[in-house]
Structure 1
Amino acid sequence: MTNDPSTWGARNAHDPTVVRGDDGLWYMFSTDAAAGVSDFPIGAHIRTSTDLVTWSFHGTALGEVPAAAKEWSGAEGLWAPEVVRWPTADGTSRWHMYYSASTFGSRTSAIGLATASSPAGPWADQGIVIATRHDRDAYNAIDAAIAFDRAGRPWMIYGSFFGGIHIVELSAETGTRLRDEPGALIARRPDSVDGAIEGAYIQYRPEEDRFVLFVSYDSLVDTYSVRVGVADEITGPYRDAAGNDLTSPTDERAAATGTKVLGGHRFPGGTGLIAPGHNSIFTDGDATFMVHHVRLADAPTQHEAQIRRVHWNRSGWPVVSPHPFAGAGTERLTAPEQVAGEWDAVRFAPEVSALVEAQRVTIVADAVSDGEPVAVTILVEGVSSRRFAPRSTTGVTHPVVERAEQDETRGGVELEAVVFGAWDPVAGRSVLAFSGIDPNGVVWSGSKAVTS
C-alpha cells in the first residue's frame, strides 16, 4: 500500500462515518489507520465525495492527538470519529466531532469533543467528554456515536469489549455530559466470548416510533458482523428479531443474540469480504445508507470503507443490500422483472462467524420490480437452513436454527423481505437483489442470477 493518501480512495478507512456538508459534498471521517503504511497522517482522516462512490483524501481533523486526551490515554492516534451537525438556536452551522483516544486492550481511554463551522474544518478541540481508567472503571470510553430522542435531546452511545455499550444524555448547549455518570447499559456480551461488542450506532425510525441499535460483534480482524436490536425508548431495552434482550445474552446464546444483518460473504466470481463492521447510518432524502469498514478475504490486512443501501421490511426491520452502492441510477433496471426465479443467496446465521458462500436457490414470489424497493413475502423454495450451514474445517458441526426440519416440511423458508435494485460488480449490470428475515429471526440476502 502506497504512503500517498491521494491514491487510497476508500482504502484504509476504518470506523467510518459519513455526513453531508452545506457545500453539497459528502464527508467521510475515519480512524487514522493505514495497513502496511509506516508513515501516515495522524488526527482522524477526512475524505470527500460528490457521489458516495469515488472518495478523495481531504486531510485530517486536528492533525494530532489533542494534549489532554494524549496525556490521559497515551494514544498515538485517534479512533472512530463521530461527526454530527449540531442543532443551534439561531440556525448557524455547527458541527461536533467526538473522537476516541486509547490503546489496544486498555480501558484507559478518553472521548473528546472538537467543533467546527464546517466538516471541512478547521476543527478546535474542546477537551474530554468522558474518560475511563483501566484499573478503576468496568466500562470503556471509546467509539462514541450521537443520537437524538423524540424530544430532540442528544445522547452519546459508547463502549466496547470492556463492560458493553452505554448511553448517556448530553447537554444540548455544550455537547458534554449532563451528569457525571456512565449512563445506562444497553448491550453487552458474556465473558465466554470476551465481551466482544463495540461500534454502536442508534437510528430513530419515526415510521415505527422506535429506536434501532446497530452494533458490531466479535473481532475486527476476521469475524466482525453487524447486529441489530430495537427498542421503544432510546435507553432500551433493545431486543433482536427473535426477542432476545441485548443486555442479557447467556453463554449458550452468546453468538446467536442480535439480528445479524451483515457478515462475511462471497457471491460467485466475486471478492470475498470478511469482518464488515463498525457501521454508522446516514440518510439522503428518503434513502437510508450504511457505511462500514470491511476486509478482503484474500488480503485480510487491508481494510476499506463500503457504503450499502438499507431498506426496511414491513415490520420495520432494517435489511442491507448484498452489493455496495455504485451510484445514482445504478439501482434501476431497464425494464421490470419477475422476482420469481433463480437467485444466489447467503444466510447470515448469527452463530456462524465464518465467511458464507452464496448458494443457488429458487425463489417463489408474486411480484415484479424494476429496482424500486418492494416489500414482499418471498419463499426460498425447497431448502432449509441446514443447507446453508458451512462445511466444518475443524470437525465441529456448526449449529443451525431449531426449525430446519419444519422448513423442509413446508417446502422452503418464508422471508419477510424487500426486493430492490443493486449493481452487481461481477456481472457489471443492475440486478434485482433482496434481503429479508425468516421466522427464526435470521436474515437472508441475495442477488438474482444473471443468465445472459
Structure 2
Amino acid sequence: MDPNITFDEEGTPWMVYGSFFGGIYLSKIDPTTGKLVEPDEGELIARRPHSVEAAVEGPYIVFHPELKKYYLFVSYDSLFRDYNIRVARADRIEGPYLDFNGNVMTNLENHPNESGIKVLGGYKFGQTEGWIGPGHNSVLKDGEQYFICHHARGERTEKHHALHIRKIVWTEDGWPLVSPERYAGEQERAIDQEAVAGKWEVILLDKHENNQVSSSSFELLANGKIANDEKGYWRHLNNNLYEFFISHYKLKRDVIILPAWDWSNWNPTLVFTGKDESGQVMIGKRIDK
C-alpha cells in the first residue's frame, strides 16, 4: 500500500511502501523493467507496536544533495482524528533511519510516539478554525526550494479533506521543518528584529499529544523581552534565524521566521517554526499586523 518511487544518489530507483500493521519497507527497482530486483518484501525501515495498531503509513523518501542525507517522512495514527507527520533521516537509502535523538524508526521498545521528529499535527491558532489530522504527504523539490504536500481535515468539515502545500525550511543542523501556514508564493528573506516584535500565537507540537493542539498567546517586546515572562527572551541570530526562550515551554529554541499569508485573517504576516535541544517542534504566527 501507499507505494512511492524514489531515487538514490546514483539515480537508482527504489520503491518505499507499506502501511498499517506491517511497517514500512524499501525495495530496489530494476530500471529496465520497473519490477522488483528481488521478489521479496524488501528492507524494513519503520514500524510501530501493535499497542497503537502499528499505525504508520504514507511513506515518502527524499534525498538532499547538499546535506547528503535521505529523509523519510511518514504519518502516524488515524487520519480521522490524530494523524501527524514524522521525519527521520539516514546516510544510506536503506537506513537505518534515525530521528533527532537517535531513535531508530524500527525500534519497538520505545514509547509509540517517541520516534521521529513531529513536524506537523492538528492545530488551532487562537479562535480561528484549525486543522485536524494533516498527513500522508509527498515532497516537491522546485529548484532549490522544498515543499510538503499533504491532506488535512477542516475543524468544521471533518468529512472533507483539503490539499495543503507548505514550505519546508532546513535547520542549520540539517533537519526539515514545515511552515505553519499554507504557501502563497512568499520568498524566504532576512527578517528585521523590528518586524518580529509584537503579539504571537504559539503552539508546541508535543509528539505525545496528537489530537488538535490550541495556541497560547505571547507578546515579544521590542527590547528582546517577553511580556509577563521574567526569564523569557528572544534575539536575532542571523538572516531569518532567531533564538526564543519562553519560560512556559522551558527550553530554548532556534526558530526560522518566514513571511506568510494568514489564510484565516486574510492578511500578510510572519510565521516561525523551530525545534529545541530535544527535537520538539514549536510553531507560531504573528497576529497583530
With normalisation by structure 1, the TM-score equals 0.58
Alpha-carbon offset, residue 207 of structure 1: 1.9
8 Å CA contact retained: 2:179, 2:272: yes
* CA 1:444–1:336: 2 relative to 1, 3 Å: closer
Counterpart position of 2:224: none
Counterpart position of 1:436: 274
Counterpart position of 2:228: none
Q: What are the within-5 Å matches in structure 2 for residues 20-419 of structure 1?
A: 142-250=1-109, 253-326=111-184, 328-329=185-186, 337-362=194-219, 364-367=233-236, 374=240, 376-384=241-249, 407=250, 413-419=251-257
Alpha-carbon offset, residue 377 of structure 1: 4.4
Report Cα offsets for 1:327-374 as digits up to 9, x if no partner.
x258779988443443211111111021000111355443399xxx72
8 Å CA contact retained: 2:237, 2:243: no
- Counterpart secondary structure, 1:299: coil
Report Cα offsets for 1:1-57 as digits up to 9, x if no partner.
xxxxxxxxxxxxxxxxxxxxxxxxxxxxxxxxxxxxxxxxxxxxxxxxxxxxxxxxx
Report Cα offsets for 1:175-204 as digits up to 9, x if no partner.
221111111000000011110000000111
- Counterpart secondary structure, 1:212: strand
- Counterpart secondary structure, 1:352: coil
Alpha-carbon offset, residue 174 of structure 1: 2.3
Alpha-carbon offset, residue 172 of structure 1: 1.5
Unaligned runs of 5+ in 1: 1-141, 385-406, 408-412
Alpha-carbon offset, residue 444 of structure 1: 0.6
Report Cα offsets for 1:82-137 as digits up to 9, x if no partner.
xxxxxxxxxxxxxxxxxxxxxxxxxxxxxxxxxxxxxxxxxxxxxxxxxxxxxxxx
- Counterpart secondary structure, 1:383: helix
Unaligned runs of 5+ in 2: 221-232
- Cα distance in 2 for partners of 1:256, 1:231 equals 18
Specify the code of the residue in structure 2 equivalent to 1:218.
D
Specify the code of the residue in structure 2 equivalent to 1:190.
P
8 Å CA contact retained: 1:222, 1:275: yes
Backbone CA RMSD of aligned residues: 2.2
Specify the code of the residue in structure 1 equivalent to 2:235.
D
Match of 2:264 among 417, 426, 429: 426
Q: Higher RCO, 1 or 2 (CA under 8 Å, sep at least 6)?
A: 2
With normalisation by structure 2, the TM-score equals 0.89
Report Cα offsets for 1:151-172 as digits up to 9, x if no partner.
1111000001121000000012
- Cα distance in 2 for partners of 1:339, 1:268 equals 18
8 Å CA contact retained: 1:226, 1:261: yes
- Counterpart secondary structure, 1:300: coil
Specify the code of the residue in structure 2 equivalent to 1:379.
F
- Cα distance in 1 for partners of 2:86, 2:167 equals 16
* CA 1:340–1:274: 2 relative to 1, 3 Å: same
- Cα distance in 2 for partners of 1:240, 1:368 equals 25
- Counterpart secondary structure, 2:165: strand
Report Cα offsets for 1:260-293 as digits up to 9, x if no partner.
0000001123222001000000022121110000
* CA 1:352–1:292: 2 relative to 1, 3 Å: same
